[in-house]
Every structure is written in structure tokens, then in C-alpha cells.
Structure 1
Amino acid sequence: MRYFTVISILVFSLCFFRVTNAQTNISVTVKDSLTEYPFIRVKENILSDSLNTMALFYEKLKILKSDTDTVRKVVNILHLGDSHIQAGFLSGQMMSRFHSDFGNAGRGLIVPLKLIKSNEPRDYAIRSTASWFGSRCVDRKNYPCPGLGGMAVATRDTSFFFDIATLSKTDSCNAFCSVTVFHHPRTSPLSVISQKKGVNYYPTRWPFASRIELDTLVCNLHLKGQSMFGDTSIYYAMSLENRNSGILYHSSGINGSCYSHYVEAGQVLNQTAALTPDLIILSLGTNEAFGKCDQKDIYDQIDRVVSMLRDIHPGAVFLLTTPPECHRRVRRKGKKKYYYTYVTNTKVEKVAETIRRYAVDKGLACWDLFSISGGRGSAKSWVKYQLSARDRIHFNIKGYELQGNLLYDAIIKGYNDYVGK
């Protein structure tokens, strides 16, 4: 009798483990969908993390996935980068899959890039009829000083309006009911004028942020700002939430940016304190490959950015990514006239090597997109399979979404291994 009781307990325990594991395990991209790109090194698509630093992040995902408590739980991700991230296609794919698998806590960070005539992701819009000027962390004359999001917009109008909206290819939208506005400490908070009832205003622990809470979910909001005559109102970004448990995926990229730009514009990093990220992904390096910095300089700049962020977020997990190979345009002399052609930018490989070495030296997780995307000579394949943009430095939507899927898969493979132990 005792023998059968023990057997029953063991069988029940095994079944319970399998059910629990099935509930927390996440699917990765089907390998068959990647066979059309034979240059992708699918078997190498894992995170290098010798010290298992990602375990802390995986544990938070596991709790989020398996928890049935009604108390709201949010896991925050901050993804900083350059033009590859500013476009929003790579990070947008990451956000979509995180939301699908772990819950959608809101759109997260939105940055008014179009107000200074730059490109911004397609899933939100920030419009205004005011007269705006601004700066980015890559500008030599960066007044007003860039803040969260890597930029700042400013106006001297005494009264002005913002229209913010989340956009979607479908009839549904990424609705929100909480807006955190990031602004200069001496800039007055915004007020809602699109609805009179069910609106509450709150200060935050940070002097550069104020919060608006709505009683109902909305897809767009009409905001008003005011300033005293002669004053300059300065804004950096906004964060949209919906009060649900899930992932808040904050992504921020600035065209042309390097690690050094984030060091020089220290306020950009300092203000990330308000986002309290659990995971910080750093995707930089392409622009370093077009500059004059040597590997030691790049290593030192990476260290300064990581050190600054570690001081601000001592409990965060870091994930560095390497840039994929790209081409550079060169001028050649022909028989009758000069012509332009494309050659491999060999410095990208050296930058990738530096990032990998830094991650190993400092015990950080690393995702080696340079190798995973095909390694040396792979830029031709991305062009051949129509995944690159015309400049052969950037990628089209299909290319960025492929990279987003690969990065997500690499993270989730590590997560599945963690929950399967």
C-alpha cells in the first residue's frame, strides 16, 4: 500500500511539473520560417551569458507568467540604441512578442521626434501646431539639453497643444489610461482638455516628470500647455500605460548616435531612473564603425555608459548587442568619370569584437548579431535577399522584424532553459 502511495505521489509531481513548465515555456520562431535565409546561423542564436546574469530577469518573467494574483505586476525593459532602434521596427517586433507572451502593460516610452523633423515609430503620433525647436544628443549645439529619449523639444509660445495617439494597422489600438510626461523641472505640467471628468494629476518623485491618470482607457488625448511670457517650455518624452500586468517595453534610439553621445549627454541616462528598468538592452556600434575611434576608445565609452547606468540602476540586468555587418559607399575613378560603389565596412567586425570582449570582461550578457546574421561577408546576403535598405547600412521593415524575432528567440531560449531546470 505504501509502495503505491509513493508511486502515486511521484507521478503526480511529474505531471504537475510538466503542466507548470508548459504554462511558463514560450514558443520561439519556427525554424522552417528561417530556412529561406540560409545565411542566418540559427544554431548560434543564443545569448552569451557565462555568469548567468539573465537569471534575475528570467525569474521576474516567470513570476509574471505564472502569477494569478490580481495585484498589478510590471516588468520594465529599456532598449537604447541608434537609428536601428529609432525606426521602431526591430524594437516594435520585440515589444509585440513580449506583450503577446507576457502581457501588455502599455505602449511605454514615446518620443516627439517628428516635432524636430526626424522619423519616429509608426505605432504612435505626437502632433502640435506650436512653433517648436529642439536638439538631439548627437547635435553639437544641443540646446535645449537633451533628456529622456535622447532629445528635447522646446517652444516659447505662451499657450500650446499636444495631440497624442496610439496607432494600429487594425481597428484596435494600444489603449492607455496613464500618461507620464517628462519635461524640464521648471516647465509647467500639461493638462487634459479632451475630457473634463475622470482626470487626475499627480507629481512624481522626480522633478522632471508628472503623471496624468484617466478613469477610462483612450486611444488619443488632447493636452494643453501654458507658460509665462518669455519662458521656454521644454519636453523630452511621454510614457503610456494601461494599469494591466505585463511588459513595459521602453525603446529609444537616435540617428547617428554612438556610446560617446550618451556619455556626453548625461541627462539622457540620468532620467532613465524614472523608468526603473529590470533589463537594459544596449544596441549601439554601427556609427562607431564609421568614425575614427579605435577599439580602446570604443571599449572605454561602452564602460562609461554601462557604469553610469549601473550607478542609476544597481539592480538591472544588462544585455549588449553587436551590430550586423554593413556596407559603406565609396567613390572610385572610372575610365571617363568617377562612380560610386559599395564595399564591406570591415570596421564593424572590430566593433563587434570589442563589444563581445567587454561583455566577457565585465560578466554581462551579449547577443552577437554580427555572427548570428552571417558574420563576415553577410551584408551581401542581406542585400541579395532584399532585407537591406538602399543605403546598405540600414534594413527594411522585413529585415528589422527578422532581427527582432532573432533577438526575442535568443532571450526566450534562455528563459525556457531557466524555467525548465
Structure 2
Amino acid sequence: MRYFTVISILVFSLCFFRVTNAQTNISVTVKDSLTEYPFICVKENILSDSLNTMALFYEKLKILKSDTDTVRKVVNILHLGDSHIQAGFLSGQMMSRFQSDFGNAGRGLIVPLKLIKSNEPRDYAIRSTASWFGCRCVDRKNYPCPGLGGMAVATRDTSFFFDIATLSKTDSCNAFCSVTVFHHPRTSPLSVVSQKKGVNYYPTRWPFASRIELDTLVCNLHLKGQSMFGDTSIYYAMSLENRNSGILYHSSGINGSCYSHYVEAGQVLNQTAALTPDLIILSLGTNEAFGKCDQKDIYDQIDRVVSMLRDIHPGAVFLLTTPPECHRRVRRKGKKKYYYTYVTNTKVEKVAETIRRYAVGKGLACWDLFSISGGRGSAKSWVKYQLSARDRIHFNIKGYELQGNLLYDAIIKGYNDYVGK
């Protein structure tokens, strides 16, 4: 009888362990469409992480996935980059898959890029009838000084309005009930116009951020701002949350940016303190391949950005990504006239090698998109399979979403290995 009882307990324990482990494990769904692209090195689509630095992030995902507590838990991801990230297609696919598997804690960071006539991701809108001027971290002028999001918008109007909304291709929107507004410390906080009741205003521990809390979930909000004594009002970005447990995926990219731009605009990095990221993804390098910097300069600039972020976020995990191969447009002399053609930008491979070398030397995780996307000569394949944009530097929606799926699968492969131990 005692023997039977012991065996029963062991069998029950083993079954319980398997069920529990299965609940926290997420199978990797490699998109069937990848079979259409033979140039992609799917087997190489893993993170290089010799010191297992991603384990800290994986543990937070595991707790988030398996937790049944009613206390809100949020895992924050910050993805900084250039135009590949500003468009929002790659990072949007990452956000969608993370939140589908681990829960949706909100839209996260939104940046008023259209107010300075730049492009925004398609899943939100920030509109205003005020007269705005601004500055990006890549601009030579330095007023207003760029902040979180890599830019700043400013107005001298004494009274002005913002309309913010989350957008969706479906009938449902990414609703929110908490808005953190990032602004110059001397700029007055915004107030809600569309609702009189169920609205609360709170300061934060950071002088450049204020918070608005609503009693109900909304898809759009009408905000009013006022300047004091005719001062210039300066805003950087907003963060939208829904008070649910899950993933907050903050992405921020600026067209034309390099590592050096983030170094020079130190306030951009300093203000990321308010986002408290658990994972920081750095996706830069394409613009370096069109500049005059040598590999040593690029290595040093990467180190300065990582060092600055490490000082601000000592507990964060870092993931560096390499840029994919691209083309550059060149002018050639024909028999009768000049013509333009495209050639491989060979400097991209050197930049990718520098990023890999830095990650290995500093013990950071790295996702080598250059190699995974096909390596040397692969830019022609991305054009052939209609994944590139017309300029052959950027990609179309399909191309960026493919890259987002690849990066997510690489991260989740590591997560599955971690929880399966």
C-alpha cells in the first residue's frame, strides 16, 4: 500500500511538472511563408549570447506567462533605431507577437513625428491645429533640444490642443486609460477636454513627465495645453497603457540616425529612465554604412551609447542587431549620357562585423540580421522577391514584417530553451 502511494505521488508530480512547464513554454511558430524565401538562413536565426545574458529577461517572461496573481506585472521593452524602426512595421510585428503570447499592457511610446512633417507608425495618430516647429536628434540645429523619442515639438501658441488616437485595421482599437506625457520641465502638463469626470492628474518622479489616469478605457483623447506667460511649450512623446499585465513595447526610431546622434543628444537616452526597460534592443548601423566613419569610430560610438544606457538602466539586458545588406545608387557614364544604377553597399558588411565584434567583446546578446537575411549578395534576393522598397535601402511592409517575425522567433527560441531546462 505504501509502495503504491509513493508511486502515485511520483506520477502525479511528474504530470504536474509537465503540465506546468507546458503552460509556460511557447512553441516557436516559424511562418510558412519562410519556405518561399530560400535565401534566408533559418537555421542561423538564433541569438548569439555566449554569456547567457538574456536569461534575466527570459525569467521575467516566464514569470509573466505563468503568473496567476491579480497584481499587475509588466515587462518593458525599449527598441531604439533608425528609419527601419521609425516606420513601425518591424517593431509593430514584434509588439503584436509579444503581446499575443504574453499579454497586452498598452500601446506604449507614441511620438508626434507628423507634427514636424515626418512619418509615423500607422497604428496611432497625434493631431493638432497649433503652429508647431521642432528638432530631431539628427538635425544640425539644437532647439528645441530633442528628448525621449529622438525629437521635440514646440509651439508659442498660448492655447493649443492635441488629439491622440490608437488606430487599427479591425473594429477594435488598442484602448488605453493611462497617458504619460513627456515634456520640458517648464512646460505645463496637459489636461483632458473630452471628459470632466473620472480623470485624475499625477506628477511623476521625473520632472519631464506627468501622468493622466482615466476611469474608463478609450481609443481617443482630446487634450488641451496652455503656455505660461507666453513661454514656448515643448513636448517629446507620450506613453499609452491600459493597466493590464503584459508587455509594453516602446519603439523609437529617427530617419538617418546613427549611434553618434544618440551620443550627441544625451537627453534622448537620459529620459528613457522613465520607461524602466527590462530589455533594450539597439537596431542601428545602416546609416553608418553611408558615412565616412571607420570601424574603430563606429565601435567607439556603440560603446558610448551602451555605456550611457547601462548607467541609466543597470539592470537591463541588451540586444544588438546588425543591419541587412542594402544597395546604394551610383551615377555611371554611358555612351551618350549619364545614367543611375544600384550597386551593393559593401560597407554594411563591415558595420555588421563591428557590431558582432562589439557584442562578443562586451558579452552582449546579438541578432545577426546581416547573415540571417542571406549575407553577402542577399540584397538582390530581397529585391527579386519584392521585399525591398524602391530605394533598395529600406523594405516594404512585407519585408519588415518578415524581419520582425525572424527576430521574434530568435528571441523565443532562446526563451523556450530557457524554460525547458
Count how many residue pairs are aligned between Structure 1 and Structure 2.
421
Q: What is the SS of the residue equivalent to 1:148?
A: coil
TM superposition shift of 1:13: 2.5
Which residue of structure 1 aligns with residue 322 of structure 2? 322
Q: Distance in 2 between matches of 1:173 and 1:214?
A: 17
Alignment of 1:119-198 (within 5 A): 119-198=119-198
The CA distance in 1 between the partners of 2:86 and 2:323, in whole Å, is 15
C-alpha distance after superposition, 1:159-210 (max 9, x if no partner): 0000000000000000000000000000000000001100000000000000
Deviation at 1:25, TM superposition (A): 1.4
Decide whether the 8 Å contact of 1:108 with 1:240 is kept in 2: yes
| TM-score, structure 1 normalization | 0.99
Task: Report the CA distance between 1:230 and its aligned residue.
Answer: 2.8
Match of 1:90 in 2: 90
Correspondence 1:74-113 to 2 at 5 A: 74-113=74-113
Q: C-alpha separation between the residues in 1 aligned to 2:372 and 2:79?
A: 19
Partner of 2:366: 366
The reply on whether 1:346 has 2:331 as its aligned counterpart is no
Matched, 1:66 2:66: yes
- The CA RMSD over aligned residues, in Å, is 0.8
Aligned to 1:35, the other structure's residue is in SS state: helix
> How much has 1:31 moved relative to structure 2?
5.4
Q: Following the alignment from structure 1 to structure 2, what is the Cα–Cα distance between the partners of residues 401 and 17?
A: 36
User: Contact 2:158/2:228 (CA < 8 Å) preserved in 1?
Assistant: yes
Q: Residue 166 of structure 2 contacts residue 219 of structure 2 at CA under 8 Å; is this kept in 1?
A: yes
| Cα distance in 2, alignment partners of residues 139 and 199 from structure 1 | 37
CA distance in structure 1 between the aligned counterparts of 2:397 and 2:263, rounded to whole angstroms: 30
Q: Percent identity?
A: 99
For 1:258 and 1:231, locate their aligned partners in 2 and report how far apart those are by CA, in whole Å: 32
Contact 1:137 1:265 in 2 (8 A): yes
Is the contact between residue 29 and residue 405 of structure 1 (CA under 8 Å) also seen in structure 2? Answer: no
What displacement does 1:368 show? 0.2
Q: What SS class does the counterpart of residue 391 from structure 2 fall into?
A: coil
Structure 1 segment 325-404 matched on structure 2, within 5 A: 325-404=325-404
- How many Å separate the matches in 2 of 1:19 and 1:122? 39
What secondary structure sits across from 1:305 in the alignment? Answer: helix
Structure 1, residues 340-360: CA drift from partner, whole Å, max 9, x if none?
000000000000000000000
Contact 1:149 1:268 in 2 (8 A): yes
Residue 26 of structure 1 deviates from its aligned partner by 1.3
SS at match of 2:382: helix
1:221-255 deviation per Cα after TM superposition (whole angstroms, max 9, x unaligned):
00000013431000000000000000000000000
- Greater mean alpha carbon deviation, residues 8-17 or residues 139-148: 8-17
Matched-pair contact (CA < 8 Å) for 1:147–1:267 = yes
Q: Aligned-pair distance for 1:2?
A: 4.0
State the 1:33 CA deviation.
Answer: 2.7
**3-state secondary structure, aligned to 2:305:** helix
Contact 2:188 2:228 in 1 (8 A): no
Name the SS for the 1:407 alignment partner.
helix
For the Cα contact (< 8 Å) 2:30–2:409, is it kept in 1? no
Tell me which residue corresponds to 1:4.
Answer: 4
- Displacement, 1:10? 2.9
2: CA distance, partners of 1:203 / 1:272: 17
For residues 365-390 of structure 1, the C-alpha deviation after alignment (integer angstroms, 9 at most, x for no partner) is 00000000000000000000000000
Q: Tell me if structure 2 keeps the 8 A contact 1:109–1:240.
A: yes
**Aligned position for 2:17:** 17
State the alpha-carbon separation in 2 of the partners of residues 125 and 308 from structure 1: 31
Partner secondary structure for residue 257 of structure 2? coil
Alpha carbons 2:359, 2:366 under 8 Å: kept: yes
CA distance in 2, matches of 1:171, 1:31: 25
C-alpha distance in 1 between matches for 2:347 and 2:120: 28
Q: Is the 8 A contact 1:387 1:395 kept in 2?
A: yes
